[in-house]
Chain A
Amino acid sequence: GQSLEQPSEVTAVEGAIVQINCTYQTSGFYGLSWYQQHDGGAPTFLSYNALDGLEETGRFSSFLSRSDSYGYLLLQELQMKDSASYFCALNTGFQKLVFGTGTRLLVSP
């Protein structure tokens, strides 16, 4: 099967940069996705890495290293509204997604 590990909680201050790590175990996958979920809300798609390297989307970047079974989400210029839970997810085939348990990010003034 597949498993993904993320830190349960990360704290940071406004304007800072924070990195949320995701390590995984799998026999094969197509790519690694990242989702954001605010309390009481639905997950929203942030980023996807099919290949090794960095993908940048505005203040958010995501990185994948298949050889290290590791990825991360980088959030820059943190804002209060970035306080949310962040999930990494393995795309293991077509619509088959396996999610990590999530990282709660707390941004303070």
Chain B
Amino acid sequence: EAQVTQNPRYLITVTGKKLTVTCSQNMNHEYMSWYRQDPGLGLRQIYYSMNVEVTDKGDVPEGYKVSRKEKRNFPLILESPSPNQTSLYFCASRGQGEETQYFGPGTRLLVL
């Protein structure tokens, strides 16, 4: 089954404790992205990747890092999380030449 998976689905952590949210897709897609969703603000793009080792900043990259060492994986790293990073995070992927963007199930993060 074609899908985008994220782990963990829920996470409670404390300020400053490094964390990684994993994202994996099984569709051999070139393009991948991370978004955060906050009430009243819609989805905002954090980082995106156009292929292995090719990443770029989205609209809200501050406080986040990403890497794309393999085509299928695109982890999101919060080196020193802060309460303002409490949000719902979505990973997404899209094949080259396609318009359909496939979203993962989301990761709900609470930073205390």
Contacts and interface: CB of A to CB of B under 8 A. Distances in A.
Given A101-B41, A101-B42, A96 B99 contact: no
B61 interface: no
Among B43, B50, B58, B92, the most chain A Cβ lie within 10 Å of the Cβ of B43
Interface of A: 31, 33, 35, 41-45, 48, 87, 89, 91, 94-102
Contacts, number: 55
Contacts of B104: 42
Interface of B: 31-33, 35, 40-45, 48-50, 56, 58-59, 90, 92, 94, 99-106
Given A95-B33, A102-B42, A43 B103 contact: yes
Nearest to B33: A95
Given A48-B99, A94-B50, A95-B48, A43 B43 contact: yes
